[in-house]
Amino acid sequence: QVQLVESGGGLVQAGGSLRLSCAASGRTFSRYAMGWFRQAPGKEREFVARHIWTSGILYTGYTAESVKGRFRISRDNGKNTLYLEMNSLKPEDTAVYYCAAATGVVAGTNSYEYDYWGQGTQVTVSS
């Protein structure tokens, strides 16, 4: 069982930056594939970024095309924390952002591949 708690959301002007954090409980955080998803009002939840174990020795981060070059996902296993650095924010980035964990070192871009979810943190970007 993993519990996830997001923080760092807020109101920011377009072009600004935020860093979201996701604190995970448990001692096996390093064994989980982690992801960030978001859901805007009236829209389906969509993939933002994932951080997975690759090549047996490395983690690799992947981001959706809509945020590529602006968002960066990373993790600190010593702190059991996942991060999402968001730069050059746009009004269309406004959404509730969710952290998710998959019981396996690899997971894709579909929400059903993830087993545990945080409660979400609101990000609002004003124009």
Q: What's the pLDDT at 29?
A: 85
Q: What's the pLDDT at 57?
A: 67
Looking only at the bridges linking them, the beta strands covering 121-126 and 10-13 are parallel
Q: What's the pLDDT at 31?
A: 84
Q: What's the pLDDT at 40?
A: 97
Q: What's the pLDDT at 113?
A: 94
Which residues of the chain fall short of a pLDDT of 50?
none
Q: What's the pLDDT at 56?
A: 67
Buried-state track 10-29, b at ≥16 Cβ within 10 A, e below 16: eebeeeeebebbbbbeeeeb
Q: What's the pLDDT at 83?
A: 97
